[in-house]
Amino acid sequence: MAPRTGWLRDGCCNTGPGDHGLHLVCVQVTADFLEFSQRVGNDLSTPLPLYNFPGLKPGDRWCLCAERWTQAKEAGLAPKVVLEATHISMLEFATLEELQEYAVAD
């Protein structure tokens, strides 16, 4: 079962005052992205039972930090975006056209 995503764990990328990482963009992770994220210091694949986090696997959806998505995009490894679950504040970090370019096909 995929982990429940979002800062508030509500399935969308809603945010709040404690979300210092700005987990605004809902993505569908790939193996390449997970490897990239681990290389740059954020291992999303390894389970962390203490936090009830099973670890992500390719195909899972996850609310990602805006800056990490931008960094992955610049590296050519940005995961696809689930527009319906992405917070509107993500438009401060990417244009709507960029997000649409990476949108998950329905």
Instruction: Write out pLDDT tens, residues 15-69.
Output: 888 888 899 999 999 999 999 999 999 999 999 898 778 899 999 999 999 999 9
pLDDT digits (tens, 9 = 90+) for 9-21: 666 788 888 888 8
8 located within any domain: no
Q: What is the reported pLDDT for 21? A: 84
9 located within any domain: no
2 located within any domain: no
The residue among 69, 67, 66 whose CA lies nearest residue 29 is 69
27 located within any domain: yes
Write out the residue range of the structural domain in which residue 43 sits: 23-101
Give Dmax over CA atoms of the chain in angstroms.
39
4 located within any domain: no
68 located within any domain: yes
Beta bridge partners of 48: 53
Lowest mean pLDDT among 41-50, 72-81, 90-99: 41-50
32 located within any domain: yes
Q: Where are the alpha helices (DSSP H) in 23-102?
A: 31-39, 66-74, 96-101
CATH of the domain at 92: 3.30.56.110
Cβ count near 98 (within 10 Å): 17
- C-alpha angle 17/22/28, rounded to 5°? 135
Q: How many domains does the chain have?
A: 1
Is the pLDDT score of 2 beyond 60? no
